[in-house]
Structure 1
Amino acid sequence: MTNEIQKQYDRLEDVPSIMLRMKDVYAVPDRHIRYAATKAFFGTKMTEGLSVHSHGVKMLSLVEKLEDLKAGLNNDTYIVVILQSLPPSYDPFIVNYNMNGLEKSIHELINMLVQYEATIHKSEPAVLVGEASTFKAKGKVPDAGRGRRARERPSQPLLAPEVLLLLPRRGRAKGR
């Protein structure tokens, strides 16, 4: 310790009073720690494809940390936030949980989520992944519009009458 700090603590008589004074001066306030823990808890989202068990353990550790800091949240709030942190593939589970009005502890909820994850993976069909073919058709494509009706002309000309007078007529012999 430097001389100035040592002189400040020389006036204090016993170790608990020195520790209390040091805690007051150098400790980070609980409010900041509680803010960081709450932000981490409410901001945690499970990414699709990761284990729900590891996500549940992470959320459970954040819940225990918030309870140690006396954040003032109840069990229902913890469960709602955990359910909201799940990816969209867990929407059927969330609907079922809310529709049945289940009241479970956080540990029971995590166990139910692990069972649901096992059910999802068991029922997922296998997906075949392959390359796209570069097949090119050869030859003429048959025209479905051939025939008498396809040759009929539209009732109105596509060009203005002045332009039609300037164009040679098709289908006539040159000598006529």
Structure 2
Amino acid sequence: MALRFEHKEYVLEKELIEINEEQATPEELDEYQKHCNDATKVSCIMVATITPELQRIYEDYWTYKMNKDLMEKYHQRARQEKYKVVKSIITSKMKYREYVNNHVQRMHRYVDRLVKLNVNLNEELAIDIVLHSLPSCYDQFILIYHLNNKENNLAQL
């Protein structure tokens, strides 16, 4: 969020390439210097916010390389977590004698976790999944919900 606010996200995706200062135009020098300064600041932020063990590994990395390496290391773990949460949310059913509020809150936590894992799950689909997870005794509620055509979000549900 800090990078987005400061308009410095580009340093994660654009590698800093050395330029020949003698042959570069003033605009190219300015752009290179800005990129270098931004990459230094972002590297400091990244290193400051990771575990001490990872700090020792990445303290001399440039931002682009650090981001690329971290993505390669943790992509598979994130993919496994996405699978686990998706499996949980689509197989979840409200338990016998469970309060509906507790069940919906659990489902809401699954949705929130998927959003944090960059799964594009729109509100309408999330609500449909939650409604599907309710037992048949809620069929009347689901029917009325759909007939009313109210645009509720998951928290309002």
- The structure-2 alpha-carbon separation of the partners of 1:25 and 1:103, relative to structure 1 and needing over 3 Å to count, comes to closer
The residue aligned with 1:47 is: 95
Pair 1:60 & 2:108 matched: yes
Deviations 1:61-104 (A, max 9, x none): 10100111111111100000000000111111001001111210
Match of 1:77 in 2: 125
Distance in 1 of aligned mates of 2:104 and 2:114:
15
Deviation at 1:20, TM superposition (A): 5.2
| Aligned CA distance change for structure 1 residues 86 and 13 (closer, same or farther; 3 Å) | closer
Residue 145 of structure 1 corresponds to: none
Residue matched to 1:14? 60
Q: Equivalences for 1:96-111 in 2 at 5 Å?
A: 96-109=144-157
In the other structure, the counterpart of 2:81 is 33
> Following the alignment from structure 2 to structure 1, what is the Cα–Cα distance between the partners of residues 79 and 95?
29
Quick check: 1:23 aligned with 2:70?
yes
Instruction: Sort the Cα spacing of 1:104 and 1:70 in 2 relative to 1 into closer, same or farther, 3 A.
Output: same
What secondary structure does 1:46 align onto? coil
| Alignment partner, residue 143 of structure 2 | 95
Aligned match of 1:142: none
1:108 aligned counterpart, secondary structure: coil
TM, length-normalised to structure 1: 0.49
Corresponding residue pairs, total: 100
Q: Which protein shows a greater Rg?
A: 1
Q: Give the TM-score, by structure 2 length.
A: 0.54
The runs of 4+ residues in structure 1 deviating greater than 4 Å are 15-22
Q: Which has the higher helix share?
A: 2
**Aligned residues: percent identity?**
29
State the alpha-carbon separation in 2 of the partners of residues 79 and 97 from structure 1.
Answer: 11
Residue identity opposite 1:44 in structure 2: S
